[in-house]
A = this chain, B = another copy of it.
Amino acid sequence: MPSAPPEDGLIIGETGAQKLVGYVVDVSHADGRARTYLDIDDRHLNRHGVLHGGIISMVLDNVCGVSASLSVDASGTAPFLSLSMTTQYLAAAHPGKVTAIGTITGGGRSTLFIEGELRDADGKLLATSSGVYKRVPQDKLKR
């Protein structure tokens, strides 16, 4: 398990899911909050021609999980599981860049409460999330 962050602070193509969807994770900020960027194109759209709600949840779940990891060390890779997550879909997201950010609101060593926000390039709030994340012991990574 690496404990140092990537040199430029960006995590790209780390997992199958990340390669598939194409989001970029940024752990370079000193405030302990991860950012996740997605450049929305046709591959991410739903029937209505806007960003699929499932991908919104995916990006928010990602940014909250990495923010959880940042509470352990700066690598942003300490393993956490999502126990529960609620997404509120405030507005439709059109093709272009969106940014998600995660904020830890409470919890202790093993359980964290984390809220996420997704905004478009103009700063418009598109979706919010709140979730419970659990630290994975090293010996249970493949539960």
Number of interface residues of A (CB under 8 A): 58
Interface check A29, CB cutoff 8 A: no
Interface residues of A in 51-74 (CB under 8 A from B): 52-55, 57-62, 65
Which listed residue, B89, B111, B113, touches A82 by the CB 8 Å rule?
B89
> What is the minimal beta-carbon distance from A5 to any residue of chain B, in angstroms?
15
Task: Judge whether A79 is part of the interface by a CB distance below 8 angstroms.
Answer: yes
Number of identical monomers bound together in the oligomeric complex = 4
Interchain CB contact under 8 A, B84 and A15: no
A1-15 contact mask (Cβ, 8 Å, vs B): 1 or 0 = 000000000000011
Contact of A17 among B45, B90, B128, B142 (CB under 8 A): B45
Report the separation of the CA atoms of residues A59 and B55 in the bound assembly, to the nearest whole angstrom. Answer: 10
Chain B residues lying within 8 Å of A106, measured Cβ to Cβ, are 88, 90-91, 125
**A84's contact among B48, B92, B125, B132, by CB below 8 Å, is which?**
B132
Given contacts A58-B57, A89-B82, A125-B105, contact A17 B113 (CB under 8 A): no
Contact with B along A111-143 (1 / 0, CB 8 A): 101010000000001001011101010000111
Known: A54-B61, A57-B61, A130-B130. 4 other contacts (CB 8 A): A15-B46, A47-B79, A54-B59, A84-B132
